[in-house]
Chains A and B, each alone.
Chain A
Amino acid sequence: MYTRNLRIVTFAIVSMFFLHSFAENNWNVPADKKARNSTIKFDATTSKVGESVYTKNCVSCHGDPTKGNSLKSLSPVPPDLASAKTQELTDGELFYILNTGRVIMPSFNNVLSEEDRWKIISYIRSFNKDYVQQLSISDTNKSQLVKVDMAFDKKSNQITVTVKANEKTGVVSLKDDEIVLFANRYFGRLQIGESQRTTADGVAVFDFPKDLPGDKDGNVKLVVKVNDDTYGEISRLKTMKIGVPTDIPSMTADRTIWNVLFKPIWIIVLYTFGVMVFGCVLLYLLYSLNRLRKAGNI
C-alpha cells in the first residue's frame, strides 16, 4: 500500500512538473497530437539522416545542440534543442511544433517529408540519454493501400484529386482529409492554391493556374500530399502536360558585346582573309627587298 501511495505521489509530482513546463513553453498542443508517436524506430542511422536535415534547416537559428550557440538576436530566442526544457516535450509535441511553427519559426509541414521530420526528432533525442522511444502502434504499411487519382479538366482548368483506400472489406473513400497540391520546382515544391479537405466521396478540387511554366513540352511534375489519421501521410507524384511550354534560349545564344562565345561565320571568314592578305603583302615586300639587294650587288 505504501509503495502504491508513493507511486501516485511521484506520478503527481512528475506530471505537475510537466504541466508547469508546458505552461511555460505555451505551445498549446492538442491532446491527440501530443500523444502522437513516430512510426519509424529511432537509431543511429535515423539520427544521422536527421542531423543532415537539421544542419540544412534548423542550425541557422537553433545552433548546434548542447553548444548553446542559437541566434540570440532573435525574439523569442530559439532554444537549444538539447536542453532539458525541449527534451521534456513528447515526440508528438516536437512533431507538432515542427509542423505548425510559430512567430518567427517557420512551418515545416509542406517543406520536409514526414519521415525527415521524425528523423530530426530522432537527432534531437540522441542528446538525451534517458530517452526511451514509444513507437506508434499504427500500421505503416497501411498507407500503401491508398490510391490517389488525379484528373485535369481543360475547360475549367481544375485538377480533381480522388483519394480512396483499397481495404479488404472494399473501397473506402477518405473523407475530410487535408490535401495539398504542389508543383515541383528546382529548389522546392510550389503549393498550388490553398490546401483542401476531401468531400464524403474523397474528392478535392484545385484551381490550376493558367500561367505556370512547365518544361519545353509543358510537362509539370505534380505532388499530392494527403494527411490522414489512420493511413498517415501519403505523397504521390504524377507528371501532367498542363503547364505553359517554356523553352527560353540560353543567355549565351545571342550576339552581345560581352559574349565571346558567339562567333559568326562571316567574322571568322573575314578575319582569316584579312590575316592572309596582310601576310601576302609582307611576303611580297620581303621578296622585293631581296630583289633590290641582289640588283645592288651586281
Chain B
Amino acid sequence: MSEKEEKPKKKSRREFLQDIGIVGVGTLIGGSAIFAGINYDKRKKQGERIKVLTAENELLEIEKSDTTKVTKSPLKNLTYLQKEGRDGLKGHRWVMVIDLSKCRNARKCMAACNDAHHLRPEQHHINTLKMQDAKDTPAYYMPKPCMHCDNPPCVAVCPVDATFKRADGIVLIDNERCIGCRFCVAACPYSARVFNWAEPLHSHEDENLTYDVELNVPQRKGTISKCLFSADRLREGKLPYCVSACPNGVFYFGDENEDAVTNGTTKETVRFKKLLEDNGGYTLMPELGTLPRVYYLPPKGKEYPFQDKDKKEAGERLES
C-alpha cells in the first residue's frame, strides 16, 4: 500500500506529448476520412441523377435512388400482337356448329362481320348462300364461313408462311407477311378467302392503327383476308361477332376439348358431340380430307318458308 502512495500515477512530460500526438494525428486522419466520405457521397449522388420525362411532357432531373421501377404491361406493338396471334390460346380447339334448319337469311352475321373487320360490302368472311342441291330437293339458306380445316390446303401452299394454323385450330393470315400471290385462294375448296383488290374500307381512318393479326385490321390492299373465328373475341372469352349477332339461334360455338358449344342467340350451352349425334351433323366436302372445324346440322324441319325471290338464285346451277 505504501509503495503505491510513493509512486503516484503521474504522466511524464514525454508521455503527455506522445499522447497529444496520437490524438492529434487520429483526429486529422478521422476528419479527413469523414471529409473525403462526404465529398465522395456528394459526387456519387450527383453522378446518379437521371433525367425523366413526365406524363405532362416535362423533362426533370431526379436522384436515381428516388425512382421506383414500374412493371410494364405487355406491349401491344406489332411484334407482340403477331407473336400472340401466332401462338393462339393453348388448351382449346374451337368448333362451330351451324344449324341450317334455323337460318332465315337475316344476314346479321354478315353485317356484324363486315363491320368488325372493316370489309367492303362485296367482301365476305361469312356469306349466307341460297342453296338447292337437286331439282326436287327443298331450297335452304347456308351461312358459310372459313372451315378452319385441320388439314388446311391453303396453309400448305403459302410460300411465305403468311397464313398459318395455330395451337387452337384457327387458320389465320398475317397481312404483314402476305405477298398477295393468291395461291391460297386457289387451294381453298370452300372459297373462303377474299382478296383486297381495291383500297380497303376505312383505310384512311385506320392509318394509325397497329395491325392486329387476330382482327385483320387495318386491312391491306393487295393482300388476303379471311374469316378469323373472331380470334380477338375468343381471347376475351366472348363469342365471335357473327355468332352473337344472329337473331335466329343458327350458330353454336365452343371448345371441342370441353365438349361444349354455346348458342349465340339463346346463350344456351349444350354438349357438342350429343348435338351432332342427335341432329345428324356433317361437314362440307369430307371427301377432300380437309377435316373442317365447322359442322352443319341439316335443314330438317325448317320453321320458315324459303323466300320466293331467292328461288331463282338457289336453282341457277340446276337449270343449265
- Residue numbers of A with Cβ under 8 A of B are 56-57, 60-61, 71, 73-74, 104, 106-108, 110-112, 183, 185-191, 211-213, 246, 248, 250-253, 256-261
Determine the chain A residues whose CB is within 8 A of the CB of B258 once the complex forms. 185-186, 213, 246
In the bound assembly, the distance between CA atoms of A251 and B164 in angstroms comes to 11
Determine the chain B residues whose CB is within 8 A of the CB of A57 once the complex forms. 267
Determine the chain B residues whose CB is within 8 A of the CB of A110 once the complex forms. 268
In the bound assembly, the distance between CA atoms of A112 and B267 in angstroms comes to 9
B270 within 8 A of A: yes
B268 to chain A, nearest CB (A): 7
Among A56, A188, A250, which residue has its beta carbon within 8 angstroms of that of B269?
A188
Determine the chain B residues whose CB is within 8 A of the CB of A211 once the complex forms. 259
Determine the chain B residues whose CB is within 8 A of the CB of A71 once the complex forms. 106, 108, 247
Q: Do B151 and A106 have beta carbons less than 8 Å apart? A: no
| Given A213-B259, A251-B169, A106 contacting B268 (CB threshold 8 A) | yes
B306 to chain A, nearest CB (A): 13
In the bound assembly, the distance between CA atoms of A246 and B256 in angstroms comes to 11
Determine the chain B residues whose CB is within 8 A of the CB of A246 once the complex forms. 257-258
Q: Do A73 and B152 have beta carbons less than 8 Å apart? A: no
In the bound assembly, the distance between CA atoms of A63 and B217 in angstroms comes to 27
In the bound assembly, the distance between CA atoms of A217 and B147 in angstroms comes to 31
Q: Do B247 and A60 have beta carbons less than 8 Å apart? A: yes
Given contacts A256-B151, A258-B165, 18 further A-B contacts (CB under 8 A): A57-B267, A60-B246, A60-B247, A106-B267, A106-B268, A107-B266, A186-B92, A186-B255, A186-B258, A187-B255, A190-B260, A190-B271, A248-B91, A250-B90, A251-B165, A252-B88, A258-B152, A258-B155
Determine the chain B residues whose CB is within 8 A of the CB of A56 once the complex forms. 244
Among B164, B238, B265, which residue has its beta carbon within 8 angstroms of that of A60?
B265
| Chain A residue at minimal CB-CB distance from B150 | A251
From 144 to 170 in chain B, residues with beta carbon under 8 angstroms from any chain A beta carbon are 150-152, 155-156, 161, 164-169
Of the A-B pairs whose beta carbons lie under 8 Å apart in the complex, a sample of 21, sorted by A's number, is A60-B265, A61-B265, A71-B106, A71-B247, A106-B249, A108-B267, A111-B266, A185-B269, A186-B258, A186-B260, A187-B237, A187-B239, A187-B255, A188-B268, A212-B259, A248-B91, A248-B93, A248-B257, A251-B167, A258-B164, A260-B161
| Chain B residue at minimal CB-CB distance from A56 | B244
Q: Do A185 and B262 have beta carbons less than 8 Å apart? A: yes
Determine the chain B residues whose CB is within 8 A of the CB of A187 once the complex forms. 237-239, 253-255, 260, 262, 269
| Chain B residue at minimal CB-CB distance from A107 | B266
Q: Which of A60, A73, A211 has the most CB of B within 10 A?
A: A60
B245 within 8 A of A: yes
Determine the chain A residues whose CB is within 8 A of the CB of B108 once the complex forms. 60, 71
Q: Do A251 and B268 have beta carbons less than 8 Å apart? A: no
B130 within 8 A of A: no
In the bound assembly, the distance between CA atoms of A85 and B169 in angstroms comes to 47
A80 to chain B, nearest CB (A): 15
How many chain B residues sit at the interface, stated as a range, is 35 or more
Determine the chain B residues whose CB is within 8 A of the CB of A112 once the complex forms. 267
Q: Do B168 and A251 have beta carbons less than 8 Å apart? A: yes
In the bound assembly, the distance between CA atoms of A66 and B182 in angstroms comes to 46
From 276 to 315 in chain B, residues with beta carbon under 8 angstroms from any chain A beta carbon are none
B226 within 8 A of A: no
Determine the chain B residues whose CB is within 8 A of the CB of A251 once the complex forms. 93, 150, 165-169
In the bound assembly, the distance between CA atoms of A73 and B141 in angstroms comes to 15
| Given A56-B244, A74-B247, A252 contacting B165 (CB threshold 8 A) | yes
Determine the chain B residues whose CB is within 8 A of the CB of A183 once the complex forms. 260
Q: Do A60 and B93 have beta carbons less than 8 Å apart? A: no
Q: Do A186 and B254 have beta carbons less than 8 Å apart? A: yes
In the bound assembly, the distance between CA atoms of A60 and B247 in angstroms comes to 5
B193 within 8 A of A: no
From 197 to 244 in chain B, residues with beta carbon under 8 angstroms from any chain A beta carbon are 237-239, 244
Which 9 A-B residue pairs are closest in the complex by CB-CB distance?
A: A250-B167, A106-B266, A258-B155, A187-B262, A185-B260, A188-B269, A111-B267, A188-B262, A258-B156
| Chain A residue at minimal CB-CB distance from B266 | A106
Q: Do B156 and A257 have beta carbons less than 8 Å apart? A: yes
| Given A60-B265, A73-B104, A250 contacting B237 (CB threshold 8 A) | no
In the bound assembly, the distance between CA atoms of A246 and B165 in angstroms comes to 22
Among A189, A250, A253, A260, which residue has its beta carbon within 8 angstroms of that of B164?
A260
Q: Do A190 and B269 have beta carbons less than 8 Å apart? A: yes
Determine the chain A residues whose CB is within 8 A of the CB of B106 once the complex forms. 71, 73
| Given A186-B92, A258-B156, A60 contacting B269 (CB threshold 8 A) | no
In the bound assembly, the distance between CA atoms of A108 and B258 in angstroms comes to 23
Determine the chain A residues whose CB is within 8 A of the CB of B88 once the complex forms. 250, 252
A251 to chain B, nearest CB (A): 5
Q: Do B167 and A252 have beta carbons less than 8 Å apart? A: yes
Q: Do A250 and B152 have beta carbons less than 8 Å apart? A: no
Determine the chain B residues whose CB is within 8 A of the CB of A106 once the complex forms. 249, 265-268
| Chain A residue at minimal CB-CB distance from B258 | A185
From 77 to 127 in chain B, residues with beta carbon under 8 angstroms from any chain A beta carbon are 88, 90-93, 104, 106, 108
| Chain A residue at minimal CB-CB distance from B86 | A261
Q: Do B247 and A259 have beta carbons less than 8 Å apart? A: no
Determine the chain B residues whose CB is within 8 A of the CB of A213 once the complex forms. 257-259
| Chain B residue at minimal CB-CB distance from A62 | B247
Q: Which of B106, B244, B248, B258 has the most CB of A within 10 A?
A: B258
